[in-house]
Amino acid sequence: MVKAGKYLLCALTVFATFTAQAQTQEKTLEYVIADVNPSVVGIVADKNDSQSLGAGVIIGADGYIVTNTHVIEDADKITVLTAEDEAYEADVIGFDAKTDIALLKAQHPEDFEPALFADSDAVRVGNRVFAIGNPYGLGNSVSAGIISAKERDIDKGPYDNFLQTDASINQGNSGGPLFNMDGEIVGINTAIFSTDGSNTGVGFATPSNQVQWVVAQLKAHGKVGRGWLGIGVQKMRSSDPMQKNKLIIASMAEDSPAAKAGLKVGDILEQVGDLSLKNPRIFSMQTSQKNIDTKLPVKVLRDNEVVETEVVVSEMPTVAEEKKSAPKEETPTDLQIDLERKGLDEDKIQKAVEFPELNFSAFYDEENGYFIVTNVKNDSDAARKGVVIGDRFNTANGKKIFGVEDFKIKIKQAQEIKRMELQVISADTVDTIKLNLD
């Protein structure tokens, strides 16, 4: 009886402690929400004969407010509605379409209470969060959940790096904040996954660290200037476990910082300053956030040898600059457009060399130092293994190819072992393809 009494006392004590902790957590959350609610605002954007409703968050007592670009873009007038039902007209300081982040400034702000940003890199899957927004124009509404995933790519823009949450996000929540349990902004709610526009428990927020970088750019310049190396990278696929899933340079712009540093298409990246080589998307995003004229030490693997150099970050060219520098041409056909996207034109196709042992023909681009496949024989080993027009390669059996004659020599050498291994750069991937030479 004594033992049972002790156990019962223990169970009651644990239950009482758990209940007290749960009540404390709920009470704490109530206080946190009360503290941050005044920092969340509704956004009404008048656009011609229609209105766009969204949310935003005050980040400065002087009237600075963050929201989504798609909420305020093309607006004739923007009105900010506070939790106390006060209305302020707001001016657009700047916006960034690539991250869907916009910065507003309320006119003549009074008693604005700003929210603070958290370090989104420290956020972990499973962390509790809550969102405050303006769903369907109802006014400030709270929903709670957890961080479901990080670094989500939802095909919304070139720098997708979303936090995913199951906290309810509906139409009108766009531009509103996602808070942690300390009442700090971990993200700006931007998109939902839905077939009919309603909440399905899959929402996405731009991480606070990315938001802060964009906001700093907009405050300083009214636009976002991004760092640029002039290379396109892809994940490498190889049978060699030491090379598997590394990043490789798949394309390079003329006169780019990378070209000036002596980098080449086909180089395998071992180090580029402190940039992450986890995947192409994170690499591109971090590159874009580098300051202009930053010098990055680079280490690449080329022809099984380590090459070290230094690349200087320059500013990413704007679309207008690219169009301005492009020569005027006659309207191309769909076929010409497709071939040009693959790096080919009629002149290159005519100068292509046929390699019957491999069942394809290719043009050697001396300027860039790689071959471009111009034709592949149907039902051949190359076709079955995925070689298509536009694929590029510059190594054979692990060795650099120095032109047409050198490639023919390497084909003869490969015939002795009846196999040739090509590192093929296609539209989306870099694959090591093994071709049979029977």
What gap in Å lies between CA 342 and CA 359, rounded to an integer? 19
The tokens describing 436, both together, are: 């049979």
Catalytic residues: 70, 100, 174
Among residues 311, 33, 43, 54, the alpha carbon closest in space to that of 181 is found at 33
What gap in Å lies between CA 276 and CA 371, rounded to an integer? 29
430-436 vs 231-237, strand pairing mode: parallel
The tokens describing 66, both together, are: 């963050």
Q: What is the DSSP code string of 266-277?
A: TPEEEEETT---
What gap in Å lies between CA 103 and CA 218, rounded to an integer? 7
Question: Taking a C-beta distance cutoff of 8 angstroms, is the pair 298, 310 a contact?
Answer: yes
Listed as own residue / partner, the contacts of 121-128 with beta carbons closer than 8 Å and 24 or more positions apart are: 121/207, 121/209, 123/147, 123/150, 123/163, 123/180, 123/186, 123/207, 125/149, 125/150, 127/180, 127/181, 127/186, 128/180, 128/181
The tokens describing 356, both together, are: 């019957």
The separation between CA 274 and the C-alpha centre of its own chain, rounded to angstroms, equals 17
Task: Provide the phi-psi class of 106: left if phi over 0, else alpha when psi is between -120 and 50, else beta.
Answer: beta
For residue 338, the one-letter residue type is D
Question: Taking a C-beta distance cutoff of 8 angstroms, is the pair 79, 197 a contact?
Answer: no
Listed as own residue / partner, the contacts of 378-385 with beta carbons closer than 8 Å and 24 or more positions apart are: 381/435, 381/436, 382/358, 382/433, 382/435, 383/359, 385/433, 385/434, 385/435
